[in-house]
Amino acid sequence: MTEHRRRIDQIVDPEFVEGLTELSLDALRERRGICDVVENELSYYRRMLHGRMDLLGFELRRRSGEETRSLIEALPEILTDGASGYVPSGRPTKVTLPDLPDQRRRHIDEVLGADFLTRIALVEDEELNEIQRSLVEAESEISAQRHSVQEAFNTIQSELTRRYKDGLAGFDQILGRSD
């Protein structure tokens, strides 16, 4: 694996999960850790996208007459809708701000960096629809990447679990507490 590639590119490369049985516990834990960090970043981006999509969707409904409240009046409800404790992967969801890389701006950064929220009332319907399409496209891309990261994590975790079950590593070693 080449170190100068983005972490997501490393993870989605089939080589990332090939030959796991030959890797040391440290190498497996390192790869699992990379997956965990990247999944946290992607989850953060998805939450940001969903928030913007919800705000934009409300504004579009308000303009079409389906909604009579102002955006400010509905804001608490908009921001809490969809906030469930359901975790499909079974892993706890981190709610901390990830340490996002300071690399070139990615498409997601451009979508999230748009200032449309500050001027949403002034934006024409056509532009709002285009922004919504960009958000949906970015969310779809992030979701696909997140799914790939979760698959890699699960593959690595399966190898760690196999080693534990076969008596090749202790529980503390799997967790990285001691060797």
What are the pLDDT digits (tens) for 138-159?
999 999 999 999 999 999 999 9
172: left (phi over 0), alpha (psi -120 to 50) or beta: alpha
Q: Among 7-11, 70-74, 104-108, name the one with the lowest average pLDDT.
A: 104-108
Q: Which residues are within 8 A (CB) of 151 and not within 5 positions of it... i.e. 6 or more apart?
A: none
Residue 26 scores a pLDDT above 80: yes
What is the share, in percent, of the chain residues with pLDDT greater than 70? 72
Largest separation between any pair of C-alpha atoms in the chain? 64
**Mean pLDDT throughout 172-177?**
62
pTM, full prediction: 0.74
Q: Which residues are within 8 A (CB) of 154 and not within 5 positions of it... i.e. 6 or more apart?
A: 89
**Higher pLDDT pick, 23 / 101:** 23
| pLDDT tens, residue by residue, 32-76 | 999 999 999 999 989 989 988 999 899 999 999 999 999 889 989
Q: Which DSSP string do the residues of 65-88 spell out, in sequence order? A: TS--S-HHHHHHHHHHTT-----T
| pLDDT tens, residue by residue, 111-124 | 666 676 778 888 89
For the ranges 29-33, 97-101, 117-121, 165-169, the one whose mean pLDDT is highest: 29-33
- 149 touches 38 (CB < 8 A): yes
Tokens of 136: 């949906």
